Structure 1
Amino acid sequence: MSNGEPGSGGSGADGGAGTERLAQAVRAAEDALIEFEIAVETYRIEVENFSRLHEQRLGPLYATIEELDARIAEAIAARTQDPEDQRRAREAREAVTPIPRVSELFSGWLDGEGFTPEGYAMMTDQSVQPPPRVRPGEEARKLYRELARRCHPDLVTDPTERERRDAFLSRVNQAYARGDAEELRTLIEEWEAGGTPDGERPLPDADRLYARLEWLAARKELLADAAAALEDSAVGSMLRMAEDDPDALLDEVAEGLRRQIATKEAELARLTGQ
């Protein structure tokens, strides 16, 4: 059958249909990856917020316990004059006021992506806004998911556009970490006003589509590793203890520390006769 006869384009039509099916598979993989990205980033923000609030709410209580331990050890050493008790007292006092390492001077200011919101605020003379709670409210979560689906850099392949979206998504993540629904609504308006399409789709070229699928699969593996690292971290382990209400866990731990403080204060008063 010659090329001009009916049916000669059958293989081309089949090829076009195959490419379209491949394009649909890529779109489905992209959508699934974005959902996974959002889930991982949401969890990362909860881990980071929990860590910051743990330090903010519980740090002073731990410091008080360390100070009381040192004073108790010193009171015991003063009473017994025993060299071993004196050694314990020195060690307890040294634990209260350790000499900070250089890496600790910026503790709480830097994370894996650069300056934290608090660090950035300090560097730019803005007010520091610690997260009000570990898990942002439902409205903020809904707005965040909507915006992340639209502006995520993994929806595009152009390097310049990816860089622009990375910067924008960083602002989205910071607003979500603060639970700032109003700021998220403002960012949605900014995105819509920019006239940027929510995401390009790959051209129907089989080689490019296969390459895109390979990239998506590799990206998912990286995200899976990141999620596993978060879950296996000390903070991740604590979050698993109170998945429904992590803020309540902080309150529970704080109450336990206050009880310890009361017990140690009573012991110190007994030792010093106060």
Structure 2
Amino acid sequence: MSNPEAEQAEHAEHVDQEGATGAEDASGAAGDAGTERLEKAVRAAENALIEFEIAVETFRVEVENFSRLHHQRLGPMYARLDELDAQIAEATAALTGDPEDLRKADEARAIVMPMPRVEELFHGWIDSDGLSPEGAAMLNEQPVQPPSRVRPDEEARKAYRELVRKAHPDLAQDEAEQERREAFMVRVNKAYTSGDTEALRQLAAEWEAGPAEAERPPSRSEELYARLEWLAARKEMLAAAVEELEGSAIGAMLRMAPDDPDALLEEIAEQLLAQVSEREAQLAELRTPPPEQDEK
């Protein structure tokens, strides 16, 4: 014979257990949905960061190459202007004998031939592999070949983009894999900086032949939040690097004509040539003796 009170108590316990199980299932489903949203946010942030890094690296290459072109094409004109300014100041001082003019002449002459420091002598011409071809050519008194392009060509940019998307260290969670990718990306960036499309092709083939990337295991919510914070911090650091590049004299000049930097160089060269002509005329006038007056 059944006991109604016992049956009622048993039924109530069963209902409580079902309710608890349902709540756990609902909580688990909500947790899974939240984790999935976080994973999507992390993937979107990673892709955005990679695209931003590609843009930053491309701009850095453009600024570096434009800086070299600017120095090689316009450096002699700037040097000529400094020399003319010194000669004009010296000619003026010789005519007036004024101590202030003599001081200005000394300052102008000091600007023409400053004594460079060692790091300035080799800045941009030496790296971990030693002297660059341009640096070696300068030391051997051979003509220096300027970079063929300020911006890597479309094929190089496409190859670089694909390599970054596949091999970027930020996409690896394992420390050893991150180190492998970092070493690989150093070679990729070097090839991209020099616009070496063939080297980028070879690196792409090497990556494809390398070890298959292990499937990333699901991340916990805390790890995903930390990942998002790191990505945000990395983005801020890159933004600061872009601001520094854009704030430089060369970066500002390049932004004036991003699609045709060669035309900008030619325009600046014309302006410098005009200034050289003006200085030469001024110097010739200072050096021309005044006409002798007829004695009455």
> Does the TM-score normalized on the shorter chain lie above 0.5?
yes
Structure with bigger gyration radius: 2
- 1:7-66: CA deviation from partner (whole Å, max 9, x where unpaired): 674543443343233222211211111111111222222222222222222212111111
Match of 1:188 in 2: 204
Counterpart of 1:169 in structure 2: which amino acid? M
Which residue is equivalent to 1:262?
A: 277
8 Å contact from structure 1 (residues 26, 212) kept in 2 = yes
Work out the CA distance in 1 between the residues paired with 2:64 and 2:236: 22
Tell me, yes or no, if the aligned pair for 1:71 and 1:268 is still in contact at 8 Å.
yes
Structure 2: 5+ residue stretches without partners: 1-14, 139-143, 290-296
Describe the shift of the 1:161–1:182 C-alpha distance in structure 2 as closer, same or farther (beyond 3 A).
Answer: same
- 2:196 and 2:167 map into 1 onto residues whose CA distance is 18
- CA change 1:124–1:54 in 2 (3 A) is closer
| Paired AA for residue 59 in structure 2 | Y
Partners of 1:19 and 1:105 in 2: how far apart? 54
CA RMSD of aligned residues (A): 3.3
User: Structure 1 residues 120 and 202, CA, compared in 2 at 3 Å: closer, same or farther?
Assistant: farther
Letter in 1 for 2:260: D
| Aligned twin of 2:92 | 76
2:170 match: 154
Counterpart residue identity of residue 131, structure 1? P
Q: Percent of aligned pairs with the same residue?
A: 63
- Indicate the residue corresponding to 2:263 in structure 1: 248
DSSP-derived class of the 1:105 partner: helix
Contact 1:53–1:133 (Cα < 8 Å) also in 2: no
Give the letter aligned to residue 203 of structure 1. Answer: P
Aligned AA for 1:66? D
| Aligned equivalents of 2:43, 2:220: Cα separation in 1 | 14
2:137 is the alignment partner of 1:121: no
1:177 to 167, 172, 193: 193
Shift of 1:131: 2.8
**Structure 1 position 103, deviation (Å):** 4.3
Tell me the secondary structure at the aligned position of residue 139 of structure 1. Answer: helix
Q: Specify the code of the residue in structure 1 equivalent to 2:240.
A: D
The corresponding residue for 1:225 is 240
Higher deviation after alignment, 240-249 or 121-130: 121-130
C-alpha distance after superposition, 1:164-193 (max 9, x if no partner): 322322222222222222222122122222
Amino acid aligned to 2:228: L
Q: Give the count of matched residue pairs.
A: 267
1:124 is displaced (CA, Å) by: 11
Equivalent pair of 1:26/1:213 in contact (CA under 8 Å) = yes
Match of 1:203 in 2: 218
- 1:138 aligned residue: 154
**SS of 1:203 mapped into structure 2:** coil
Aligned pair in 2 of structure 1 residues 126, 144: CA closer, same or farther (>3 Å)?
farther
Range 124-133 or range 88-97, more displaced: 124-133
1:235-254 alpha-carbon deviations (Å, 9 max, x no partner): 22222211222222122112
**What TM-score, normalized by structure 1, do the two folds share?**
0.82
Counterpart residue identity of residue 222, structure 2: D
Gaps of 5+ in 1: none
- Deviation track 1:246-274 (CA, whole Å, cap 9, x = no partner) reads 22212211221122223323433444459
TM-score scaled by structure 2? Answer: 0.76
Q: Deviations over 1:56-98 (max 9, x none)?
A: 2221211111112222322333344443333322221111111
Q: Offset at 1:106? A: 3.2
Whether the 8 Å contact between 1:77 and 1:86 is mirrored in structure 2 is yes
CA distance in 1, matches of 2:282, 2:26: 90
